[in-house]
Amino acid sequence: MKALLKRFLRYLAFEHGKATVLYKKVCSPDGLEWAALIKKRRLLYEIGAECSIQVYANIVDPRYVRLGNNVRLAECTLLGHDGSVNMINRAYGCRLDRVGKIDIRDNVFIGQAAIVLPGVTIGPNAIVAAGAVVTNDVPENSVVGGVPAKGICSLDKLVQKWRRENEQLPWHNLIEQRGQDYDATIEPALQQARAEFFFGHA
């Protein structure tokens, strides 16, 4: 019965844009499926292939957001407007507008609790660290972090470092078997190998 309810809620969300809150709560879609729903419903200006958006990512002005291919959004916030303009307009008798695009190019990851402000282009081939506040463009092939976000290193250097580190991991062979994404058949052995390495045998 529950499987039937999930299929029905998924159908309503994907085909009619209805019951999306219930779909999110009952079906717990992963980032790939949530991004597929956003793409199907054309909620962003544009979204490329192989994107993943966590369900609690906060995209405040979706019509001003463009995602390239293989963009991964953790539970971050993308802001397409500056809300302080409303206070300024009232206080100073102005008629100002403060909006901007957020253009995220191919192969970009934006980490947990990061905030991207309006008028920013990120990447391609870039990482925004968890908790970063992005106020300016993030160049191609870069890793940024901090408040405001600043360059940490090139993405190429980070990949080289992680490759060297991964070759030393006791569970390296399991990662090689798994391929690029999560594999439910390997995950229990992978979790056990990691826990034993971190804490020793129970």
Predicted confidence band of residue 179 (pLDDT cuts 50, 70, 90): confident
What type of residue sits at position 179? G
pLDDT digits (tens, 9 = 90+) for 101-124: 999 999 999 999 999 999 999 999
pLDDT digits (tens, 9 = 90+) for 141-166: 999 999 999 999 999 999 999 999 99
Q: Is residue 5 part of a domain?
A: no
Q: What is the CA radius of gyration of the chain?
A: 20
* Pairing assessment for the beta strands 150-154 and 142-145 based on DSSP bridges: antiparallel
Domain limits for position 104: 44-154
**pTM reported for the whole predicted model:** 0.89
Same domain, 139 and 56: yes
Count: domains in the chain: 2
Active site residue 16: no
Same domain, 177 and 110: no
Same domain, 150 and 126: yes
Q: Is the pLDDT of residue 57 over 80?
A: yes
Same domain, 59 and 146: yes
DSSP H helices, the chain, are: 2-11, 20-27, 31-40, 84-92, 155-167, 172-178, 187-199
Q: Residue 139 belongs to a domain with what CATH number?
A: 2.160.10.10
Q: Is residue 13 part of a domain?
A: no
Q: Is residue 21 part of a domain?
A: no
Q: Which of 16, 81, 172, 201 is catalytic?
A: 81
Q: Is residue 39 part of a domain?
A: no
Same domain, 196 and 149: no
Same domain, 150 and 185: no
